[in-house]
Chain A
Amino acid sequence: MIVSPMDQPTVFDEPLEAEPPAPLPRRVAYRHRLPTRLWHWVNALTVFVMLMSGLMIFNAHPHLYWGKFGANFDHPWLTFSGRPIPGWATIPSNYNLAAARRWHLAFAWLLSIGLILFLVTSLINRHAQRDLAPTREEVRPSHVWRDIREHARLRFPTGDAALRYNILQKFSYVAVISILLPLMIFTGLAMSPAMNAAWPWLLDIFGGRQSARSIHFICAMLLLAFIVVHLVMVFLAGPINEIGSMITGRFRVPPQREEA
């Protein structure tokens, strides 16, 4: 999920033989470090399982409420009849609440431990400060606006700029890492009656168990939206190079475009 550049890319001047029409050998840079790549693929699996098992759990009571309680006689803010999520989108594909919970609560450990390890590693190796934190220059409205226009025209960064996050990437990655994923985990814990006894503040920060459940669902949908946009961007930017760099770490740098 994370596309992480090194601040000092190692340059491999390997000529590429596989592409006969290429006029010039393209520069290959080391873009993603091992912790980032590992976490990316663990999450790709984990989030996929958690979303689909979560949707199966949602099928058990597809009504969402605000507040401390909420059941059939109360007023939902979102409600469906029957079992709204089709089998192709759930784990398991048939209705099985016990199995879905088992998948969900087991992979929740992977998600939580992975996030903690990634955060600690990224602070220690300064990935967070160097690559993820927006600079003062980048957050200026004019810069953000230019990046939005570039995205809208599907003009992707070239040259050294392709080895760094652009500001929209930084915003979305930081939002996912520091807001959405922690919210998923803490709202999940807030739904546990045992956790409510151990950490009663969980209920207070989210405004009650049913509010926590609603926020859990909303964050899951935002995460799904992020994944969709992320995959679209990967495919538009060149899936083989992008996915390859997330496996090996090495990225073929697109040649510098003439500045328009």
Chain B
Amino acid sequence: MKLSCWMDDGIVGMMLLLSAATMAGCQQVVSIDLNKANPHIVIEGNVTDQQGPYVVKISKTGNYFEPTLSFPAVTGAAVVVTDDAGQADTLRETEAGTYESTTLRGIAGRTYALTVVAEGETYQASSSMPAKVFIDTLYSVYRPSGRGGSGYDIYITFRDPPEPGNYYRLNATSSRPIPSDSIDGERYRLYTDKLTNGNEMQERIRAGDNVLVGDTITVDLLAIDQASYDYFNTLRDILQSDQAATSLAPANPNSNISNGSLGYFAAYTVDTRKIVIR
């Protein structure tokens, strides 16, 4: 769990209270002239303990204000994933910039290595898949009032293993399309056992009115390694840039890929549970 996030929440909260107290504070859209950086390679690779194929995507950066969700694909790359038990799989390019495994099987406890040769440069990364951690319970509670108004709270419990150094990511999605890709708008729900080692963990997601009776909520508990946690944690820092007022100078996330590539390569286990809101 990242304490500084709560601190930030608190500080933003204080700012809001202060603004309210001074009857002030406003926001406006402004025009900012940003440089156009040279396109830079982005590699995104995942290996899980679920059935493959596992996907590695290779693309390039674009201009910041350009209205698009499609970015230049890097094609014709040589992409190989190996593990420390002797598996090796050369990934096939199934569409431009998307490379899929054929034989690889992700197994908890093993370490996976990625090698990409693209446009004359070689990029390497490795990631260890931790032991699997299972969701113990998943339930919802209707809250008639309180902060954020009425609505459903989703509770997830799981037990942290006795040895320290566990890292987690939780994803919660709904069967019904909602504006955000998470049921409460929280994009990266990350946890460490720094302060909670070996304990029963209980996490609450305040879904509010994003969740209605009849919706199916899917929760994935990912056990990730430290480097992946570090990556997603620093990624979250810059994506929550609406807190930039108090945060330090932003920087690209701490990637585990060599040779200056953006993106990450992560091996992790996934435990999925579903609940239907009644």
Q: Do A and B bind each other?
A: no
Interface residues of B (CB under 8 A from A): none
